[in-house]
Chains A and B, each alone.
Chain A
Amino acid sequence: ETGVTQSPTHLIKTRGQQVTLRCSSQSGHNTVSWYQQALGQGPQFIFQYYREEENGRGNFPPRFSGLQFPNYSSELNVNALELDDSALYLCASSRTGTGVDEQYFGPGTRLTVT
């Protein structure tokens, strides 16, 4: 197991609601990335945070937003939920600056939008 934790494990929301997902990075890591994985597909990059600043964003609308805190933990917020937002949301932490950037994933949060 990695030292990356995510909460909650799963949740069910209604279309139009807002949701916040949380991620605690592995000790010593300064970078957190978020991915969305739809059923049967590979994960898609949402965005990355490095030292509390957004450091790259994938092809996701602005209603997907995030934060990174001084302890390098992170939140993913999704507003105005749509049915297509139903997916496994994965958080990965890494240590930028080592020249390797190996990413370690948490167990994920399963979001179901009805």
Chain B
Amino acid sequence: KQEVTQIPAALSVPEGENLVLNCSFTDSAIYNLQWFRQDPGKGLTSLLLIQSSQREQTSGRLNASLDKSSGRSTLYIAASQPGDSATYLCAVIGASGSRLTFGEGTQLTVNP
């Protein structure tokens, strides 16, 4: 059974800092990995998707990497802003199906 863990559970940083969120998964046979952002009480916004054959994806100030063999992904946020404050969720799709298995998220607070 696939399990996804995100560390840290919560993170508070001053504006302008670069930061890294971590995600690990137990079964390396994944199809792809998605990073999402969730604002309080809202739905999920897809940030980046990395296919299993890829090593990283970039979008603006966000960069996500994938090391499938070690079961790890990182989300790097450059020059953080107060508007980045949200919960960030990592999810994987296993090779056998299309269901997403989520971690419990990292709650990020960026202080002005």
Contacts and interface: CB of A to CB of B under 8 A. Distances in A.
Interface of A: 2, 4, 6, 31, 33, 35, 40-45, 48, 50, 55-56, 58, 88, 90, 92, 94, 96, 100-108, 110
B4 A42 contact: yes
Contacts of B89: 42-43
Interface string B20-56: 0000000000011010100001111110010100000
Contact of B46 (A6, A40, A48, A102): A102
Interface of B: 4, 31-32, 34, 36, 41-46, 49, 51, 89, 91, 93, 97-105
A92 B41 contact: no
B3 to A, nearest CB: 11
Nearest to B107: A40
A5 B88 CA distance: 22
Contacts, number: 71
B46 A55 contact: no
Contacts of A50: 98
A45 B97 CA distance: 12
B96 to A, nearest CB: 9
6 contacts: A42-B103, A43-B89, A101-B32, A101-B93, A102-B46, A103-B100
Given A43-B44, A105-B44, A100 B32 contact: yes
Nearest to B9: A40
Contact of A42 (B31, B49, B102): B102
Query: What 7 pairs between A and B have smallest CB-CB spacing?
Result: A42-B102, A105-B44, A107-B43, A45-B99, A105-B43, A42-B104, A108-B43
Contacts of A44: 102
Contacts of B101: 45
Contacts of B97: 48, 55-56
A6 B44 CA distance: 13
A31 B97 CA distance: 12
Contacts of A56: 97-99
Nearest to B98: A101
Given A105-B44, A107-B42, 11 more contacts: A6-B43, A35-B100, A42-B91, A42-B102, A43-B44, A43-B91, A50-B98, A55-B97, A100-B32, A101-B93, A102-B34
